[in-house]
Chains A and B, each alone.
Chain A
Amino acid sequence: GDSVTQMEGPVTLSEEAFLTINCTYTATGYPSLFWYVQYPGEGLQLLLKATKADDKGSNKGFEATYRKETTSFHLEKGSVQVSDSAVYFCALSRLQGAQKLVFGQGTRLTINP
């Protein structure tokens, strides 16, 4: 079945550091890929998405590129801020059927000033 594997956390960085959170997936066909972010005490909100191979999703300085050849969707940001501290989830969704989101286990990111 479909699955998503994320880089294990927690990850702790200093402000203005470069961030990479790895995400790889297993799925047949061409799923859509997502990064969701969960700030403390809140629900999940969409950070970015990509719907086909080589698409790049971007938002709030974060980027991720849909790489079908490596089945990856790594999240990157050039200079993190304290306000980026949150839990980040990689997920995939199929275009047909249940259209459910299959999530990775989440990566907790803490940014120190």
Chain B
Amino acid sequence: NAGVTQTPKFQVLKTGQSMTLQCAQDMNHEYMSWYRQDPGMGLRLIHYSVGAGITDQGEVPNGYNVSRSTTEDFPLRLLSAAPSQTSVYFCASKTTGGSDTQYFGPGTRLTVL
């Protein structure tokens, strides 16, 4: 099992550019989510999905889009990058039990100039 994988590890964008952060898991988990980590603020939920074809907004969804066409993949799209989106992004997955452990990917460090 590779667990949760994310690509790229690092990315630098210019304001207004678009890009997609990739996330994949091989544990057949129904629940997947995206968080951003900013200094002194812990991690905040951007979007989540409880299964293929189902997505919903988290705490800080503005500026981000997601889709879930397969159980394995949950890409995060930045349509027009802004400096405020400079952050470290983590993808996570779990089964749908409420107390079940979330498994995190290694993260993508994004800088928007």
Contact = CB atoms under 8 A, between A and B. Distances in A.
Judge: A and B partners, yes or no. Answer: yes
B98 A94 contact: yes
Nearest to B45: A100
Interface string A90-103: 00011110111101
Given A42-B106, A43-B90, A89-B42, A98 B96 contact: no
Given A98-B56, A98-B58, A100-B58, A106 B42 contact: yes
B98 A99 contact: yes
Contact of A95 (B92, B98, B103): B98
Contacts of B98: 32, 93-96, 99
A98 B54 CA distance: 12
Interface residues of A, number: 24
Given A32-B98, A100-B48, A43 B33 contact: no
B99 A95 contact: yes
Contact of B99 (A49, A98, A100): A49
Contacts of B43: 44, 89, 101, 103
Contacts of A4: 42
A49 B99 CA distance: 9
B102 to A, nearest CB: 6
A99 B101 CA distance: 11
Given A49-B101, A95-B99, A105 B106 contact: no
10 contacts: A32-B98, A43-B4, A43-B104, A93-B99, A94-B98, A100-B45, A100-B48, A101-B43, A105-B40, A105-B41
Interface of A: 4, 32, 34, 36, 42-46, 49, 51, 89, 93-96, 98-101, 103-106
